A and B are shown apart, each in its own frame.
Chain A
């Protein structure tokens, strides 16, 4: 495989737009492995260190890739989950007795609060890492690269569907807010207005996502998507020895870190 990636000569050259930026230019499979490793470590390493380290790395790579601002909607999207995690654990952590205060039936505990804080960070780290992958990887790139590496189309598609859903959600959010603003819902200006504008989004987003699935399936089937044939390779992506080494490291290192963490050898970490 070429170090720079490219397209066969008979394909018009505009088909592979030159990737720009160091992070974007990484091979799609490398980016997928990075995201997977980040997710596993965020959830697998106990205590604060796992999620904190991952979140730092994710945010740094997001900033490096220039997608910082576009991560915000995904952060907002975690709010319902995060809110429920915080409430449930802080107030209802089973067996915890170290109460912060007691106010009628409300008795938040420190144990619960710490646990909730960690869980929140894990969720956010995971959401951000998926978002960075989705925002830096072109829609068909991952399928193309995985298929070229011999992965079955269904598997490749399921993996990449997750990645594709990221820009899709953004697009749909944009469409719905446009439609709502055009009919008088004010979501511009003050931050409070913007946040309030997000509330009427939740329903249609979920609902739209469901109806989308059927049409999308029809559209794909109508174009022979489920044919078992092997697809011709149109584009290849840049790869390099350091990247191969990194992937090897991630593939071997992540399970190791998890193992060490599970048997408690990382007990010295916060």
Chain B
């Protein structure tokens, strides 16, 4: 199990935009962490540091306690796999199958082993029968799923997903959710950014809230989405999921997931 950490991480883009402004974060091996926060708060910038695509302007990024700075992206890719928010930035192959095979092949996987990985990854995102098709014949939401498949096929200890829920329908969301759960179940460290608060509350064990490149809240969903945090969440344009809002309105305490809301309602015996 691989842990991640940043120490007073500052990142300034070449045009002077200070996207991260002192982020210190410890993510233990096997944790499932959701990162939320307003558009432009620095989520994508932060996660691109874990595989070295961006290099800290100040501060440090650690992988299992080791500074990532001296290591090549290709080397880090054996440990940390990251999807891009825009799938079109990630997809380059002319066939769906080769897109998924690209990563594992670089890691030295060959033969039936490789075939099996590709097949499984595509199956996990419902693209099983389409291996021979061209990625550009897929719709946007399916290209997002393809990008996800090509990353899970690498079977790295750390998996980081940038807004995997974008554009997904009910079934797609369920796919993403079960992939994350399965990864966590297998002891991987998983970091996911999302604007879908219901997804975050239902899927992640811990939620980190960013605002203007700084961490303003960090804790389990029950804590982060509890009513007394809403004013703070509002300052980074986040609203608690509907279930949390409904639970608070009915005086049922913090119920970030619909399941927890429902349980609370049941306990109430229908006599609110």
A–B proximity contact (CB within 8 A): yes
Chain B positions 86 through 101: 1 when the CB is less than 8 Å from some CB of chain A, otherwise 0: 0001111110000000
Q: Does A178 contact B (CB under 8 A)?
A: yes
Is B72 within 8 A of A182, CB to CB?
no
Other-chain residue from A175, A182, A203, A207 in contact with B82 (beta carbon distance below 8 A): A182
User: From A171, which residue of chain B is reached at the shortest CB distance?
Assistant: B89
Give A205 to B149 CA distance when docked, in angstroms: 22
Residues of chain A within 8 A of B89, CB atoms compared = 175, 178-179
Residues of chain A within 8 A of B82, CB atoms compared = 182
Give A256 to B82 CA distance when docked, in angstroms: 58
Other-chain residue from B81, B136, B150 in contact with A211 (beta carbon distance below 8 A): B136
Q: Does A70 contact B (CB under 8 A)?
A: no
Is A176 within 8 A of B92, CB to CB?
yes
Within the complex, what minimum Cβ distance (angstroms) separates B40 from chain A?
18
Is A186 within 8 A of B75, CB to CB?
yes
Is A188 within 8 A of B74, CB to CB?
yes
Other-chain residue from A176, A187, A207 in contact with B74 (beta carbon distance below 8 A): A187
Is B106 within 8 A of A182, CB to CB?
no
Interface residues of B in 60-83 (CB under 8 A from A): 72-75, 77-78, 81-82
Interface residues of A in 116-141 (CB under 8 A from B): none
Contact A184 to B154, CB < 8 A, known contacts A178-B53, A189-B72, A211-B136: yes
Is A184 within 8 A of B74, CB to CB?
yes
Q: Does B213 contact A (CB under 8 A)?
A: no
Q: Does A231 contact B (CB under 8 A)?
A: no
Q: What band does the interface of chain A fall in when counting residues whose beta carbon is under 8 Å from B?
A: 10 to 19
Q: Does B172 contact A (CB under 8 A)?
A: no
Q: What band does the interface of chain B fall in when counting residues whose beta carbon is under 8 Å from A?
A: 20 to 34
Within the complex, what minimum Cβ distance (angstroms) separates B79 from chain A?
10
Is A208 within 8 A of B74, CB to CB?
no
Q: Does A183 contact B (CB under 8 A)?
A: yes
Residues of chain B within 8 A of A207, CB atoms compared = 94
Interface residues of B in 133-156 (CB under 8 A from A): 136, 150-151, 154
User: From B51, which residue of chain A is reached at the shortest CB distance?
Assistant: A182
Contact A180 to B92, CB < 8 A, known contacts A185-B106, A211-B136: yes
Give A244 to B121 CA distance when docked, in angstroms: 62
Is B77 within 8 A of A184, CB to CB?
yes
User: From B82, which residue of chain A is reached at the shortest CB distance?
Assistant: A182
Residues of chain B within 8 A of A175, CB atoms compared = 89
Interface residues of A in 182-235 (CB under 8 A from B): 182-189, 203-204, 207-208, 211
Q: Does A181 contact B (CB under 8 A)?
A: yes
Residues of chain B within 8 A of A179, CB atoms compared = 84, 89-92
Closest CB pairs A-B (n = 7)? A184-B106, A186-B74, A183-B103, A204-B92, A184-B77, A181-B73, A188-B72
Using a CB–CB cutoff of 8 Å, the interface residues on chain A facing chain B are: 175-176, 178-189, 203-204, 207-208, 211
The 24 listed contacts between A and B (C-beta, < 8 Å) are A179-B84, A179-B90, A180-B92, A180-B102, A182-B51, A182-B73, A182-B77, A182-B82, A182-B84, A182-B90, A183-B77, A183-B102, A183-B151, A183-B154, A184-B74, A184-B77, A184-B103, A184-B106, A184-B154, A185-B106, A186-B74, A189-B72, A204-B93, A211-B136
